[in-house]
Amino acid sequence: MNEFRLQGKDPATKARAGEITTAHGVIRTPIFMPVGTAAAMKGIFHRDVKEEARAQIILAKTNHLYLRPGMEILERAGGVHRFSTWEGPMLTDSGGFQVFSLAACRKLKEEGCHFRSHIDGSKHLFTPESVIDTERTIGADIMMAFDECPPGDAPREYAAKSLALTERWLDRCFDRYRQTAPKYGHYQSLFPIVQGCTYPDLRARAAENVLQYDADGYAIGGLAVGEPTEVMYEMIEVVNAILPEDRPRYLMGVGTPANILEGIERGVDMFDCVMPTRNGRNGQLFTWEGTINIRNKKWEDDFSPIDPEGTAFVDTLYSKAYLHHLTVCQEMLAAQIASLHNIAFYLRLVGEARRRILAGDFKVWKDRAVAKLSRRL
């Protein structure tokens, strides 16, 4: 199994540091997982994601890989690790959130979810069983269960119905998981996802329900989908009070640097988000002092390094003025530089959080950091 070992707790908060051991390497938590939708971070070499950003695990999206290149190609390649040449741990989400975001072209039924391809409009059906089969073929170290992700402002009646469906699907996911074996000789975990929208009693019920599976880890889904930030933090607290301490907890799709530190304070171990790359492609840079919109004219003659404290080569090699120039010219290199800087920053953020947890001064450091991270420069 993918084993989780707790290595330290912060005395003033719920923050924890640990290690997850997988067949493809060790993941030191808390950790951020860059999102490689099609098994690649847009515009960045795997080498740079590993050596410059120092990513320990990356995420790929099941529904995208299912549509392209398709399961036959991935199986013939020997799974996603060999296909993409990423040698470290990988996680695949189940496609539930992507299906949620395609609400206009999906239909939910008891058997599963009918949806249309965003590529060519072709019709497809995802069931709990077919998603597990697909994730087995992809071959990531950690697989996510298939769920429905309701919007953040869903009425209670809808949220309750949605959760009941997710829980029935979860049973089917684990049945299929136990009936099947990994295809490429390495162990794969299956994490259930706790839903329940913004209703504390539904969240608590969902968290209690997933305990029956004695899973290698647990995910909190359906947050950062339109609900107020404070409500998101409250839901994390409700769920983490119930989830076991000796398993990793994964907050899906979150978030800003401040969101991540707030999640760590509440006992979350794993995070993913498209924000570092998507926002980077639009000219937003994350730094310890706050966020920079590199498109702004104020940077056109700032010849200082992009980030003097940065660990990626782009941070000290290029100036803000040069990156501003590339961005306003819509030069492809601008997106590559900003994306690599942001991923490296997110990994530094969680790395420093881990160091502070083990040193016992996380809370003081985190409060100071959040105040600065939220500024616009």
Name every residue whose Cβ is closer than 8 Å to that of residue 376 and which is 6 or more positions away in sequence.
Answer: 290, 291, 293
The first and second tokens of residue 228, run together, are 């107020």
- One of 93, 147, 269, 315 is an active-site residue; which one? 93
Mean pLDDT of 302-307: 97
Mean pLDDT of 288-300: 97
Sign of the dihedral defined by the CA atoms of residues 359, 361, 365, 370, in that order: positive
Residue 367 is a catalytic residue: no
- Give the tens place of pLDDT for each residue, 69-106: 999 999 999 999 999 999 999 999 987 666 656 655 56
Give me the CATH code for the 32-273 domain, please: 3.20.20.105
Determine what percent of the chain falls in helix, strand and coil, rounding each to the nearest 5: 45, 20, 35
The answer for 290, left when phi > 0, alpha when psi is -120 to 50, beta otherwise, is left
Domain ranges of the chain: 32-273
Distances (CA, A) of 116 to 125, 133, 287: 9, 20, 39
Helices (H), 241-331: 257-265, 275-281, 313-317, 320-328
The first and second tokens of residue 100, run together, are 């949620």
- The secondary element (H helix, E strand) that includes residue 114 is strand 113-116
Structure confidence at residue 114 as a pLDDT band (50, 70, 90) = confident
Looking at residue 73, its pLDDT comes to: 97
AA identity, residue 260: I
Residue 93 is a catalytic residue: yes
- One of 141, 272, 307, 315 is an active-site residue; which one? 272
Structure confidence at residue 107 as a pLDDT band (50, 70, 90) = confident
pTM of the entire predicted model = 0.95
Mean pLDDT of 255-271: 97
Helix, strand, or coil (residue 155): coil
Name the average pLDDT for the chain. Answer: 94
- Give the tens place of pLDDT for each residue, 120-154: 888 888 999 999 999 999 999 999 999 988 888 88
Looking at residue 226, its pLDDT comes to: 80
